[in-house]
């Protein structure tokens, strides 16, 4: 038996099924029917017991009196506080809010009170309280029932969906493959799975097959099929296919130290996308000329509080150290949309993808933003740093960001801390950003086209929605025209143009992108050698010819035909 899905991370995985259900449901803000009040109160009490027990279990693995141990202790004490329980009960019985809404409000109020205190330790604790509230809300839904100990060494995870923050909690060394019912080609979980080299299939309706935990599975992340209880014949066939793929990848290693330059001598700077310090340390093996996109918001997904300036400074310096003179492009925290950060307070939004995200979030949370910028400026004393702002649409946002950079420099001078020169760029992710480029470019050293979001906002097609993958692909006539417009505007201003969305990780699209005039590609590290091989074996004159032809086409099918 086999069920198909969309391949977002290639490879073949052999393993056993494990169902997980981490995903919490949307909060329901309607008032409770009176008959449901007692039930909601009980839900909260049970969740408190459950979460306290879970946290106590977590402490078993920590050294008593370590900072982490004490932070968990503080969480347990708060959960077991009688006043908190009484407050929660009041919100449910008197105001008729659901268990989740009551938790959200009570914890937000408590966090606000802490944040008002002058003590910086307490202000930090305010973030912890928000984070604890979120975990308690999840516990109401039973979503902490996910038990990592249940994982065997060769698990293939089956889940409805995984948020990037949830992905960050998975011990990847135990995972052979990931199969999700939802998700689109450029959803962040897809990008993370690919970067981790874990074969993944999205939009796979495995539910109809009643797969039991422990059932043997083979995930064929080349043809896009999940085989359930495979026969010996299928197993052998896929073992062979897997061996061939491993051999193919082995052969690609010849490109690691080669320059990324076409047969007719056109160089294309090939950089890597990363989301952790660990990823940075691995780029040497990937054959990249540096980092074109460090998605720093992923640093926040697994921590209880935001690293302070000193911690971030050390982290960026460590990254520069392992890059050994190569460029590091640090994107400021791109918070919002599907990137929910457990340790930060993010208000509920009906349309988060169109809400307070990217630079908008940063400009509204200046202390978070300036702490990061100060750390980046200081790190720039120790290597080649470029700073990249996500989701900039208009000049006002850029002007405010520059004011904050100036303010940070002034602070660093007063604090007698050194800082270095940085190049500054923006992610171009919306049609407005492209149309505003003539005003934005005079202030910039480079731009980076975020094709994942640019596709989403150009075609009004949610990048995480599997229903839209086929009809609204990343390469369409409108997208090509927008990329060309951005490139032409950059050439007129002699500004470097990079593309760092997943388009750049698709070998068959490289000729088009390079032909359109993109100077730099920043690529998912799993695809880097494939992309480099395409450049090294290609011909720039043919690339430009293909791009010219692509610009004349009206239909997606025609484009696919040209590119295949
Ligand atoms: C993009 O939108 O193309 C991009 C690179 O940013 P992210 O995928 O992190 O939104
Ligand atoms: Mg983006």
Q: In the numeric block, which tokens belong to residue 111?
A: 């966090």
| Same domain membership, residue 199 and residue 301 | no
> Given a cut of 50, is residue 145 above it in pLDDT?
no
Q: In the numeric block, which tokens belong to residue 228?
A: 């359930």
> Cα separation of 507 and 513, whole Å?
10
CB-neighbour burial class of residue 19 (10 A; exposed 0-12, middle 13-18, buried 19+): middle
Is 29 inside a domain boundary?
no
- Establish whether 500 is a catalytic residue: yes
| Same domain membership, residue 64 and residue 91 | yes
* Among 159, 214, 168, CA closest to 191: 168
The pLDDT value recorded for residue 23 is 53
How many domains does the chain divide into?
3
What are the pLDDT digits (tens) for 11-39? 999 999 988 865 556 678 888 899 999 99
The pLDDT value recorded for residue 299 is 93
> Given a cut of 80, is residue 346 above it in pLDDT?
no
- Specify whether the backbone of 199 is left (phi greater than 0), alpha (psi in -120 to 50) or beta: beta
Q: Which domain holds residue 297?
A: 263-563
Is 549 inside a domain boundary?
yes
**Does residue 187's CB lie within 6 angstroms of at least one atom of ligand 1?**
no
Query: By mean pLDDT, which of 67-76, 122-131, 282-291 is the weakest?
Result: 122-131
The pLDDT value recorded for residue 146 is 54
Highest mean pLDDT among 48-52, 158-162, 435-439: 435-439
pTM for this model (two decimals): 0.79
| Same domain membership, residue 455 and residue 357 | yes
| Same domain membership, residue 213 and residue 166 | yes
What are the pLDDT digits (tens) for 70-86? 777 888 999 999 999 99
| Same domain membership, residue 533 and residue 402 | yes
216-221 sheet: strands from edge to edge:
2-4, 225-228, 216-221, 11-20, 155-159, 175-180, 200-202, 6-9
| Same domain membership, residue 67 and residue 153 | no
> Given a cut of 90, is residue 103 above it in pLDDT?
yes
> Cα separation of 96 and 30, whole Å?
9
What are the pLDDT digits (tens) for 507-555? 999 999 999 999 999 999 999 999 999 999 999 999 999 999 999 999 9
> Cα separation of 153 and 173, whole Å?
8
Instruction: Give me the sign of the Cα torsion angle 404, 408, 414, 418.
Output: negative
Which residue is closest in CA terms to ligand 1's atom 10? 453
Q: Of 140, 160, 185, which residue sits at a domain end?
A: 140
**Does residue 448's CB lie within 6 angstroms of at least one atom of ligand 1?**
no
Task: Count the helix, strand and coil residues of the chain and give each as a percent rounded to the nearest 5.
Answer: 55, 15, 30
461 alpha carbon – ligand 1 mean position (Å): 14
> Given a cut of 60, is residue 56 above it in pLDDT?
yes
| Same domain membership, residue 334 and residue 460 | yes
Q: Of 98, 117, 140, which residue sits at a domain end?
A: 140
What are the pLDDT digits (tens) for 472-496? 998 999 999 999 999 999 999 999 9
Highest mean pLDDT among 186-200, 206-220, 357-371: 357-371
| Same domain membership, residue 195 and residue 318 | no
User: Of the ligands numbered here, which is closest to the C-alpha atom of 499?
Assistant: 1
**Does residue 451's CB lie within 6 angstroms of at least one atom of ligand 1?**
yes
How many CB atoms are located within 10 Å of the residue 374 CB?
Answer: 24
Catalytic one of 24, 188, 227, 365? 188
| Same domain membership, residue 429 and residue 402 | yes
In 253-391, where does DSSP find H-type helix? 277-281, 283-286, 309-323, 359-364, 366-379
**Does residue 506's CB lie within 6 angstroms of at least one atom of ligand 1?**
no
Is 286 inside a domain boundary?
yes
């Amino acid at each position: 038996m086999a069920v198909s899905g969309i391949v977002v991370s290639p490879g073949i995985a052999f393993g056993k099924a494990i169902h997980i259900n981490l995903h919490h449901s949307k909060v329901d803000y309607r008032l409770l029917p009176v008959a449901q009040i007692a039930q909601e109160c009980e839900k909260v009490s049970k969740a408190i017991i459950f979460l306290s027990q879970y946290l106590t279990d977590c402490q078993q693995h920590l050294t008593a009196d370590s900072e982490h141990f004490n932070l968990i202790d503080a969480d347990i004490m708060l959960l077991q506080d009688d006043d908190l329980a009484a407050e929660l009960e009041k919100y449910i019985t008197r105001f008729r809010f659901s268990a989740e809404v009551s938790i959200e409000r009570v914890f937000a109020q408590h966090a606000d009170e802490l944040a008002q205190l002058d003590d910086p330790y307490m202000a930090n604790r305010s973030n912890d309280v928000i984070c604890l509230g979120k975990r308690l809300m999840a516990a109401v839904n039973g979503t902490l029932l996910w038990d990592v100990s249940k994982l065997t060494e060769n698990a293939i995870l089956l889940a409805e969906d995984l948020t990037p923050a949830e992905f960050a909690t998975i011990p990847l060394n135990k995972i052979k493959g990931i199969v999700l019912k939802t998700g689109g080609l450029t959803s962040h979980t897809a990008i993370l799975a690919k970067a981790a080299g874990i074969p993944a299939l999205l939009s796979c309706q495995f539910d109809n097959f009643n797969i039991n935990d422990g059932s043997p599975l083979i995930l064929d992340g080349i043809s896009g099929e999940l085989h359930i209880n495979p026969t010996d014949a299928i197993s052998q066939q896929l073992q062979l296919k897997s061996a061939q793929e491993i051999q193919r990848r082995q052969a690609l290693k010849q490109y690691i130290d080669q320059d990324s330059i076409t047969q007719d001598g056109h160089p294309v700077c090939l950089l890597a996308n990363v989301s952790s310090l660990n990823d940075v340390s691995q780029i040497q093996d990937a054959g990249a000329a540096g980092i074109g996109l460090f998605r720093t918001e992923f640093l926040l997904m697994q921590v209880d509080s935001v690293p302070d300036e000193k911690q971030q400074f050390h982290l960026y310096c460590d990254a520069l150290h392992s890059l050994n003179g190569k460029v590091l492009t640090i994107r400021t925290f791109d918070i919002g949309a599907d990137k929910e950060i457990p340790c930060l307070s993010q208000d509920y939004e009906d349309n988060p993808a169109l809400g307070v995200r990217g630079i908008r979030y940063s400009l509204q949370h200046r202390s978070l933003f300036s702490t990061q910028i100060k750390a980046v400026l200081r790190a720039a004393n120790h290597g080649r740093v470029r700073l990249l702002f996500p989701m900039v649409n208009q000049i006002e946002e850029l002007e405010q960001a520059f004011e904050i950079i100036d303010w940070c420099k002034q602070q660093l001078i007063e604090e007698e801390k050194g800082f270095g020169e940085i190049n500054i760029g923006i992610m171009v992710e919306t049609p407005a950003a492209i149309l505003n480029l003539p005003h934005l470019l005079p202030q910039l050293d480079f731009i980076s086209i975020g094709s994942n979001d640019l596709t989403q906002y150009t075609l009004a097609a949610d990048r995480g929605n599997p229903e839209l993958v086929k009809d609204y692909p990343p390469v369409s006539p409108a997208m090509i025209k927008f990329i060309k417009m951005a490139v032409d505007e950059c050439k007129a201003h002699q500004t470097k143009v990079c593309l760092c969305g997943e388009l750049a990780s698709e070998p068959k699209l490289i000729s088009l992108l390079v032909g359109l005039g993109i100077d730099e590609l920043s690529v998912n590290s799993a695809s880097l050698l494939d992309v480099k091989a395409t450049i090294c074996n290609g011909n720039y004159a043919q690339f430009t010819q293909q791009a010219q032809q692509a610009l004349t086409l009206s239909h997606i099918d025609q484009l696919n035909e040209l590119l295949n």
